[in-house]
Chains A and B, each alone.
Chain A
Amino acid sequence: MDLSLIIMQLLSGIALGAVLVITALGLTIVFGMLGVVNFAHGAMFMIGAYAGLYLASLTGSFWWGLLLAPILIGAFGMLIEFVLIRRLYGRSIDDPLLLTFGLSYVLVEGVRILFGSDGIPFPTPSQLIGVVDLGVGFFPRYRIFVIVMVAAVLVLLWLMLEKTRIGLIVRAGARDPVIMQVLGVDIGRVWLAIFGLGVALAALGGVLAGPMRSVNPEMGSLVLAEAFVVTVIGGLGSIPGAVVAGLLVGISISMVALVAPEMATIVMFALMAAVLLIRPQGLFNVRGRVA
């Protein structure tokens, strides 16, 4: 097989994986802090894509959509945490999961009412149309942008968590929320912010994925399963785990697509099953927090 083809496919896998990383990261951060698995995460990804598309057509610029959609949907996520999920802390760990599942029903149907059931094409921004000659082959400019963008967001997140006072509170809160309250930190506000951040990351993933696939109300259900697989492989609650597993899954999908296209949708599940049999807690587990 042609080497340049393999390199191109590897790059496609990284671009695909980058979207998975950003989406799974939102899921894993929320779980690490709140102990809540957000079943509406895929639906948040989907409404993020719709919001990005809508804002881009409203302002006439993709960049406003990319900037505003995560903020808007993140704020919506905070509202959801404040109104609904907050009531369930201290109840069974299954309850937030069930509630967010019901929420995903409402969101998907709400989008169908507002935008219709059919897919809508998401135009690639004019500056990023076309391909770049990488020496070994031509690669879509937009996908390079996605990879760079996700890398930048990861660096920003890392700086925020490791180098700022807010990050310190967040990390300490994940470790021991009770002690944080004793020390005078309003943990409820931290959880609110983290839930908003997690949802904003899902929305960002949705906007970034938009031009790579068409936007439709059902797009979130596949993404949810993918994000679950990534977080299970990486270890739920682990940020490095989400990054490594996301890239691993993205690259495996595009590599298998090269050899056996009909196996491409199945490979990530096989990967997950293999990891579970060897290391049930995931590749990078945080202190054995298996809920």
Chain B
Amino acid sequence: MTAQSNRAAATKSVFGALDRFGDQRVLLSIAILIALPWLLPSQALAVNVLIYGVVVMGYNLLFGYTGLLSFGQAAFFGCGAYVTGIAIGRYGMPWFAAVASAVVVSTILAAVIGVISTRTRGIYFSMVTLALAQLVYYVALQASSFTGGENGLRGFTVDRISLFGLQINFLDPLNKYYVLMVFAAAALWFQSRILNSPFGAVIEAIRENEQRARACGYDVERSKLLVFMLSGSISALGGCMLALHLSIVPLDILHYQTSGMIVMMVLLGGARSFFGPFVGAAAFLILEDVISLWTPHWQIFVGAIFILFVLFLPKGIWGTLLETLPIARPRR
């Protein structure tokens, strides 16, 4: 009796600790990201990890937590970037209005693609999202008066950002990093909020057993569509960050190779873990950086490493780490 209640109490306190960890995962993630420019060999790399981390985090909501393997995330990443650039360059909007409208437009695009693709299941879903994202690519290629076609979108530069009356020189790489960091922090908070909500439990239920979730009375189709839109909006925010960072939008951002890269990053880091996307983005970009120092054919190594991960380490770097260190395991 006492032994049992002791164990029950112990279990409870462990879960309690994990709960607290769960509440603080946003703060912990932000702390790591604040230190990132000093942890990585270059600040340029840190900015890219930040941007792709946000994009992959949005994708993780769809693939990791809901179990929907989409090959079309580039559409929303690219849409966010293009709309930001067009809003600033063509319509002279201030940067915050451009970012807001980019996220709204991308979420609408995600709703349209989501309505069509969430009607399908399993492997069909992967193929249909890939095809519809390619459609977006060809539309951007054809609408060259708007998007610059093959040359990409140019002619918008944000060199100065005013934040609460504060003028920030956006050309300084470190300033740039910390301004973009604010976006990343917002995205982290938003993602954590979604996962902690009852809706977060529903999408994980859909991943574990779609039929049972349906039998419990949850509207599976609507939940899938909603998570598709939420995931698209977070990835679109990453696109906005990229546009502000580069001051150009390359057409390749919309190609399904970019979607594939996002899939690779989430798997390298660890799907279904909160901080995994940033680890995956860092792992991919560092690999690219290091290998391209001595050969231009870095893709062959990245592809081979990815194959090894699928075969032997399907939980990714961060996911495997969390599993081997039970204290660090956050509440999902």
B34 CB to nearest A CB, Å: 33
A93 CB to nearest B CB, Å: 6
Whether the Cβ atoms of B297 and A113 lie closer than 8 Å is: yes
Whether the Cβ atoms of A291 and B123 lie closer than 8 Å is: yes
Contacting residue for A112 out of B119, B297, B304, CB 8 A: B297
Whether the Cβ atoms of A110 and B300 lie closer than 8 Å is: yes
Whether the Cβ atoms of B260 and A101 lie closer than 8 Å is: yes
Whether the Cβ atoms of B299 and A93 lie closer than 8 Å is: no
Contacting residue for B123 out of A37, A104, A269, CB 8 A: A37
In the complex, whether B116 has a CB less than 8 A from a CB of chain A is: yes
Determine the interface band of chain B, counting residues with CB < 8 A from chain A.
35 or more
Which residues of A have CB within 8 Å of B263? 98, 101
Which one of A93, A102, A265 has the highest number of Cβ atoms from chain B below 10 Å of its Cβ? Answer: A102
Give Cα A221 to B254, complex, Å.
13
In the complex, whether B267 has a CB less than 8 A from a CB of chain A is: yes
Which residues of B have CB within 8 Å of A140? none
In the complex, whether A97 has a CB less than 8 A from a CB of chain B is: yes
Whether the Cβ atoms of A269 and B135 lie closer than 8 Å is: yes
Given A225-B131, A269-B132, is A105 in contact with B299 using a C-beta cutoff of 8 Å?
yes
As a 0/1 sequence over residues 112 to 132 of chain B, the CB contacts with chain A under 8 angstroms (1 = contact) are 000011011111101110111
Whether the Cβ atoms of A231 and B127 lie closer than 8 Å is: yes
In the complex, whether B314 has a CB less than 8 A from a CB of chain A is: yes
Which residues of A have CB within 8 Å of B303? 102-106, 109
Within 8 A of B (CB), among A259-291: 262-263, 265-266, 269-270, 272-273, 276-277, 280, 290-291
Give Cα A101 to B128, complex, Å.
16
A78 CB to nearest B CB, Å: 17
Whether the Cβ atoms of A265 and B142 lie closer than 8 Å is: yes
Stretch at the interface among B18-26, B165-173, B305-313: B305-313
Give Cα A231 to B138, complex, Å.
20
Which residues of B have CB within 8 Å of A280? 119-120, 124
Whether the Cβ atoms of B310 and A266 lie closer than 8 Å is: no
In the complex, whether A2 has a CB less than 8 A from a CB of chain B is: no
A280 CB to nearest B CB, Å: 5
Which residues of B have CB within 8 Å of A266? 135, 138-139, 142
Whether the Cβ atoms of A95 and B130 lie closer than 8 Å is: no
In the complex, whether A94 has a CB less than 8 A from a CB of chain B is: yes
In the complex, whether B287 has a CB less than 8 A from a CB of chain A is: no
In the complex, whether B317 has a CB less than 8 A from a CB of chain A is: no
Give Cα A26 to B164, complex, Å.
59
A121 CB to nearest B CB, Å: 22
Whether the Cβ atoms of B256 and A225 lie closer than 8 Å is: yes
Which residues of A have CB within 8 Å of B131? 225, 228-229, 232, 269, 272
In the complex, whether B81 has a CB less than 8 A from a CB of chain A is: no
CB-based nearest B residue for A269: B135
In the complex, whether A191 has a CB less than 8 A from a CB of chain B is: no
Which residues of A have CB within 8 Å of B132? 269, 272-273
Give Cα A150 to B300, complex, Å.
33
B309 CB to nearest A CB, Å: 8
B66 CB to nearest A CB, Å: 12
B1 CB to nearest A CB, Å: 43
As a 0/1 sequence over residues 249 to 266 of chain A, the CB contacts with chain B under 8 angstroms (1 = contact) are 000000000000011011
Contacting residue for A102 out of B126, B138, B306, CB 8 A: B306
Give Cα A263 to B119, complex, Å.
25
In the complex, whether A68 has a CB less than 8 A from a CB of chain B is: no
As a 0/1 sequence over residues 252 to 291 of chain B, the CB contacts with chain A under 8 angstroms (1 = contact) are 0001110010011001000000000000000000000000
Whether the Cβ atoms of A269 and B300 lie closer than 8 Å is: no
A21 CB to nearest B CB, Å: 17
CB-based nearest A residue for B115: A277
Contacting residue for A291 out of B122, B297, B307, CB 8 A: B122
Within 8 A of B (CB), among A97-140: 97-99, 101-106, 108-110, 112-113
Whether the Cβ atoms of B116 and A276 lie closer than 8 Å is: yes
Give Cα A32 to B299, complex, Å.
31
Whether the Cβ atoms of A102 and B307 lie closer than 8 Å is: yes
Which residues of B have CB within 8 Å of A103? 303, 307
Q: Which 3 A-B pairs have the closest CB atoms?
A: A291-B122, A105-B303, A269-B135
- Other A-B pairs beyond A101-B260, A228-B128, 19, CB < 8 Å: A37-B127, A84-B311, A95-B314, A97-B69, A101-B264, A101-B306, A102-B310, A105-B299, A105-B300, A105-B303, A106-B300, A112-B297, A113-B300, A221-B257, A225-B130, A262-B142, A270-B135, A276-B128, A280-B124
A residues with a Cβ closer than 8 A to B are 31, 37, 84, 87-88, 91, 93-95, 97-99, 101-106, 108-110, 112-113, 221, 225, 228-229, 231-232, 236, 262-263, 265-266, 269-270, 272-273, 276-277, 280, 290-291
